[in-house]
């Protein structure tokens, strides 16, 4: 494992700052309170095309997929990120139940692949530290 650098720290701080942008805060608050679809039919009812809810969902999900791409490409130290970036795991836990159906609909097997890769790795990281804490986290996030 490559040790974290000051560049990793600075990127994490920049990503945190981006999360504080006004529209992103609104989208994150909406996502946290409302985004719990179990299939694409529920997603379509919750986030109709062209709606503000659809924009909120896309903004949050693609933001975290972008962050995950930094980790997947080696630009951001995964271990350091996992110590403070649990919101990515939160988003992954909410998206995971519909991802296969979403990919089939888009005919794109790589849709949100970075989020899946890092979300899965984050889940394993958390399970190794405490399987009970991970199960409790998933139960809270999906309830």
Cβ atoms of residues 30 and 79 within 8 Å: no
Instruction: Show me where the domains of the chain are located.
Output: 6-142
Q: Dump pLDDT digits (tens) for 62-100.
A: 999 999 999 999 999 999 999 999 999 999 999 999 999
Residues 113-134, mean pLDDT to the nearest whole number: 97
- The rounded distance, in Å, linking the Cα atoms of 123 and 142 is 14
Which pLDDT value is given to residue 2? 83
Instruction: Using pLDDT thresholds of 50, 70 and 90, give the confidence band for residue 140.
Output: very high
Residues 103-114, mean pLDDT to the nearest whole number: 97
Output the average pLDDT for the chain.
Answer: 97
For residue 96, the tally of other CB atoms under 10 A from its CB is 17
Is the pLDDT at 121 greater than 80? The verdict is yes
Cβ atoms of residues 27 and 60 within 8 Å: yes
pLDDT > 70: what percent of the chain?
99
Is the pLDDT at 125 greater than 90? The verdict is yes
Cβ atoms of residues 15 and 28 within 8 Å: no
- The rounded distance, in Å, linking the Cα atoms of 39 and 100 is 9
């Amino acid at each position: 494992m490559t040790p974290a650098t000051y560049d990793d720290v600075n990127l994490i701080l920049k990503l945190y700052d981006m999360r504080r942008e006004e529209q992103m805060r609104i989208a994150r608050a909406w996502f946290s309170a409302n985004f719990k679809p179990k299939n694409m039919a529920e997603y379509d009812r919750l986030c109709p095309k062209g709606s503000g809810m659809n924009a909120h969902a896309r903004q949050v999900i693609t933001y975290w997929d972008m962050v995950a791409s930094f980790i997947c490409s080696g630009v951001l130290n995964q271990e350091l990120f996992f110590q403070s970036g649990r919101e990515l795991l939160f988003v992954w836990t909410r998206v995971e139940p519909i991802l296969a159906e979403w990919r089939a609909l888009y005919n794109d097997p790589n849709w949100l692949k970075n989020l899946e890769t890092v979300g899965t790795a984050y889940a394993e990281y958390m399970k190794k530290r405490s399987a009970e804490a991970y199960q409790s986290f998933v139960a809270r996030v999906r309830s």
